[in-house]
Structure 1
């Protein structure tokens, strides 16, 4: 049975922190692969992604090229509408019955788990790999037992990079070198993404 980690998010844009998180989870939890699944519309975020889903998917593909354990899937983009994790997991389990799935999430998202759509059902189908993020204290003891027992924590180096900061830097004509993979940096420049 293959062990697959799911990295969900807007990836607007994908950055080095996402890749480090994926590798920390893959290495720390013995995953065979990590699948990056960009959301069409994230349920717990008020704002829409800044660039189109096609461009966000292309940036992921640029970022993970050459890493055989990483894949990009467009299932939430094809489905459209609100991107609920439960719908994605049910579709993945139907397509890949021999796989075991884990969601890779930062500590800020672990604290939000009780707010996830159909969380009780989701917690029966996947485990959650928690990566503690600097400045976001983890409160596992405050989570319901059915979630707490499905969370595995793994170490991740502290990385203070965010997509919001990257978009702001591009808009202000500041450097994003090394904050995103060079292929993504060149893609953003070629397409004029996030410029004011």
Structure 2
């Protein structure tokens, strides 16, 4: 464990700190993506730009171990919506390691797998500021911080104080969540401009989130 308090770091400072690394720098944005929305894209682009990352991998989880309620729609639907969401951006792509593995999606297991496949890559794992205080409860966190660099994006009412090494990145506060979108669909409300048009069409065509069974449970 590293005794360090995360602070928002200016882009020019980041360039000086990390620009000399010979390894490829790739970000990972994990989550259920149930469904993916414009907030995810804004976070990913801001982190990619400010940390000068080569690309961002969007990594849908199979069963998120930290969620109290693990109800979510099948990964096939979530992966298809992500594919539509990421079209047109060559620096964004899907990493389906956790969906392929199935079961509880522990970040430690995933990063070990990715590092074994790609030893030339330094991974930057993106989390919200609301998750920073919970890092102490993550599976094998002391081993995990040796394998990956955590990046925390700001959220209202949360600070980034932590004993773990976390880079803070300032992003626009966009109050959109997957929970909000599912609730709007369930109640017949518009989700236009909250998700990409192709995702809106996909949700409608598949009849997703219209019943209570798959519209509740997974925040974000």
TM class by smaller structure: over 0.9
SS at match of 1:180: coil
TM-score (norm 2): 0.84
**What is the aligned-residue RMSD (CA, Å)?**
1.0
Q: What is the rounded CA distance, in whole Å, between the counterparts of 2:100 and 2:208 in structure 1?
A: 22
TM-score (norm 1): 0.94
Which residue number in structure 1 is paired with residue 3 of structure 2? none
Q: What is the rounded CA distance, in whole Å, between the counterparts of 2:68 and 2:38 in structure 1?
A: 24
Contact 1:62 1:184 (8 Å CA) reproduced = yes
Which residue number in structure 2 is paired with residue 183 of structure 1? 198
Q: What is the rounded CA distance, in whole Å, between the counterparts of 1:153 and 1:49 in structure 2?
A: 30
2:120 paired with 1:98: yes
2:131 paired with 1:116: no
1:121-140 to structure 2, matched below 5 A, reads 121-135=143-157, 137-140=158-161
**Deviation at residue 50 of structure 1 after TM alignment:** 2.6
Which residue number in structure 2 is paired with residue 167 of structure 1? 182
Q: What is the rounded CA distance, in whole Å, between the counterparts of 1:110 and 1:70 in structure 2?
A: 24
Gaps of 5+ in 2: 1-22, 212-220
SS at match of 1:125: coil
Structure having the larger proportion of residues in helix: 1
**Deviation at residue 139 of structure 1 after TM alignment:** 4.3
**Deviation at residue 195 of structure 1 after TM alignment:** 0.7
Structure 1 residue runs of 4+, over 6 Å off? none
2:116 paired with 1:72: no
Gaps of 5+ in 1: none
Contact 1:10 1:49 (8 Å CA) reproduced = no
State the number of aligned residues: 189
**Deviation at residue 35 of structure 1 after TM alignment:** 0.2
Q: What is the rounded CA distance, in whole Å, between the counterparts of 2:38 and 2:99 in structure 1?
A: 22
